[in-house]
Chains A and B, each alone.
Chain A
């Protein structure tokens, strides 16, 4: 299957199954509307009439070019990936999210964790549970060597002792088990101080800093407990963290959430760059349609034009450089097709653990009783749920196998699908639309880079 679109002034054609990206002149781009597989070596003569705006010689030559691509497997490549998905089985667990604090010191209006407590009581994970989770992961990871652990919440800095003890414990035993732990942390920054920054710098391979952009955007929704804004408290701390991490060449990124209240979110991204942050992301809020700040179908045209504006801004070399996560794509060295069938690995090679040690498929399923998979204290893990997720892939989700974006999107977020569509295998359509738009921008930026070289 092919997908053609115009972006940044290029005619771009993605051949989904081979992953080839072509830039075409107008004649070739228009001709593709007339062609489907299988292609014949001889061009149908009617093309000359249908493409009468182009000189005959060009039309014939163009057809030969397209036929050559077809023959070398980079145009209309057949979909023969389903055979791999049929054999998908459970994988070792290699990644976990530790919800160390079901509590938060901010009151962000859109928080999916319902201001940190996940709809339950506020609580902190004791260090023993953190350590039991480390043991659990080592055991469940079988022969996988690289293990990831993300400290998450609520706000993980509220459970600092647990963070420190868990990291120290994992470091003390990783070698003897032949493992390497990679820690990350996602924080709102309120409790950051020099001591914590030092520890994060030494131990965390990535650090995710939440800030929504301009002061008025951020303070409109990321509020302190007494209803004040959080921008002035957080920005100087994040600037310090980022300065250190840029210097040490360590990963971090500043992530914003955008809502209906700031559909001009490109300005928020540009503002984050002005604050000195280079690794950026801005994510659409996913929330109940009834919320006043929810993004609905009616907002999509505005959001698409905002993505266009950001894409054009980034393509213009006169503007300061930054990386925008959603516009990053590696067209040559990305993950293998097998990985792309299944995406996030939720409930299969990735799980989330809440403060009492209960295991869920991922952080967004936490607290939904039916999805509880076990507990780290007794080492139980529900094999049926694991198998269900192992077999939840682009060939078992509704509509994904016929979607041009499938090898980039990998079927989207199972949790969103479950929460909004009632079924992990039914994609959340608004998310799909935004995903596809972002991919067009991402591919166009790569095309732009390549064409200028």
Chain B
């Protein structure tokens, strides 16, 4: 492809089907706390 470079695997759809195991950390989004966006967290399911 000459006009576009895709940076990542774009696998969000697949993650929905296998997801929801609940092993990951909770993530407060607010200013007063650990405040990460959810998306900088790690998935902790055994891969």
**Contact, CB under 8 Å: B4 / A329:** no
Closest to B44 in A: A146
Chain B, residues 13-25, CB within 8 Å of chain A (1/0): the string is 1011011111111
Tell me the dominant secondary structure on chain A's binding face. mixed
B7 x A450 contact (CB < 8 A):
yes
CA of A450 to CA of B34, assembled, Å: 27
A329/B40 in contact, CB under 8 A: yes
- Report the minimal beta-carbon distance from B10 to chain A, rounded to whole angstroms: 3
A339 touches B20 (CB 8 A): yes
Q: Across the two chains, which residue of chain A brings its CB closest to B36? A: A325
B22 touches A144 (CB 8 A): yes
Given contacts A206-B34, A340-B38, A409-B38, contact A92 B9 (CB under 8 A): no
Query: Given A349-B22, A364-B30, A65 and B2 touching (CB < 8 A)?
Result: yes
Check B3 against A61 for contact (C-beta < 8 Å).
Answer: yes
| Known contacts A91-B22, A363-B32, A416-B30; A336 and B16 CB within 8 A of each other | yes
Tell whether, in the assembled complex, residue A20 and residue B38 are in contact, meaning their CB atoms are under 8 Å apart: no
Task: Please give, as numbers and ranges, the residues of chain A lying within 8 Å of B35 by CB-CB distance.
Answer: 255, 281, 283, 325-326
* Complex Cα–Cα for A84 and B3 (A): 35
Contacts of A58 in B (CB 8 A): 3
- Which residues in chain A, 408-438, are within 8 Å of chain B measured between CB atoms? 408-410, 412-413, 415-416, 435, 438
**Contact pick for A337, options B15, B23, B27, B30, CB 8 Å:** B15
Which of A11-19, A33-41, A126-134 contacts its partner? A11-19
CB < 8 Å neighbour of A22 from B6, B13, B33 = B6
Q: Tell me the complex Cα distance, A447–B6, Å.
A: 9
Given contacts A77-B13, A146-B44, contact A336 B20 (CB under 8 A): yes
In the bound complex, do residue B10 and residue A334 qualify as a contact, i.e. CB atoms below 8 Å apart? no
Known contacts A81-B16, A286-B31; A328 and B36 CB within 8 A of each other: yes
B-contacting residues, A19-35, CB 8 Å = 19-25, 27-28
Q: Which residues on the B side are within 8 Å of A332 (C-beta)?
A: 8-9, 11
* Chain A interface residue bracket vs B: 35 or more
Contact B18 A18 (CB under 8 A): no
**A343 and B6: CB pair below 8 A?**
no
Chain B interface size range:
35 or more
Q: Which residue of B lies closest to A257 (CB)?
A: B31
Instruction: Please indicate the chain B residues that have their CB under 8 angstroms from the CB of A201 in the complex.
Output: none
Closest residue of chain B to A11, judged by CB?
B4
CA distance A284 to B27 in the complex (A): 17
Which stretch, A68-76, A214-222, A237-245, A261-269, touches the partner chain B? A68-76
Q: How far is the CA of A286 from the CA of B31 in the complex (A)?
A: 7
CA–CA, A281 to B31, complex, Å?
A: 10
What's the least CB distance linking B38 to chain A, in Å? 5
Contact present for B29 and A146 (CB under 8 Å): no
User: What are the residues of chain B within 8 A of A19 when measuring CB–CB?
Assistant: 8, 10-12
Asked if A284 and B31 sit within 8 Å, CB to CB, the answer is yes
Given contacts A334-B40, A340-B39, contact A92 B7 (CB under 8 A): no
> Which residue of B27, B33, B40 contacts A330 across the interface (Cβ within 8 Å)?
B40
> Which residues from chain B contact A331 at a C-beta distance below 8 Å?
7-8
Q: List 8 A-B contacts (CB under 8 A).
A: A25-B2, A65-B1, A73-B13, A330-B41, A332-B11, A333-B43, A340-B38, A340-B39
